[in-house]
Amino acid sequence: MNETKRFKCSNCGEENPRKLHEEPDKTQVLYYSMQGAPVYKKRIKCGNCGLVFDKAQ
Ligand SMILES: [Zn+2]
């Protein structure tokens, strides 16, 4: 079962999940995987206005 989280851009109000792209925030490493690859914190970028915001808001 897929859990679809809904996000909303606080700048333009965009709610379309196809427009809100999850991307890694490479300034914030959460942890390193067992292979040694960094796992970054995820953030959301609005495809409509370009605002980048945290998932946890
Ligand atoms: Zn927006």
Residue 35 CA to ligand 1 centre (angstroms) = 35
Q: How many helices (H) and strands (E) does the chain have?
A: 0, 3
Q: 17-55 pLDDT, tens per residue? A: 999 999 999 999 999 999 999 999 999 999 999 999 988
CA gap 12, 29 in Å, rounded: 28
Higher pLDDT residue, 3 or 43? 43
Range of the domain at 8: 1-57
This model's pTM is above 0.85 = no
Tokens of 33: 């995987």
Q: Which secondary structure element, helix H or strand E, spans residue 53, and what is its range? A: strand 52-54
Domain count, the chain: 1
Q: How far is the CA of 28 from the centre of ligand 1 (A)?
A: 22
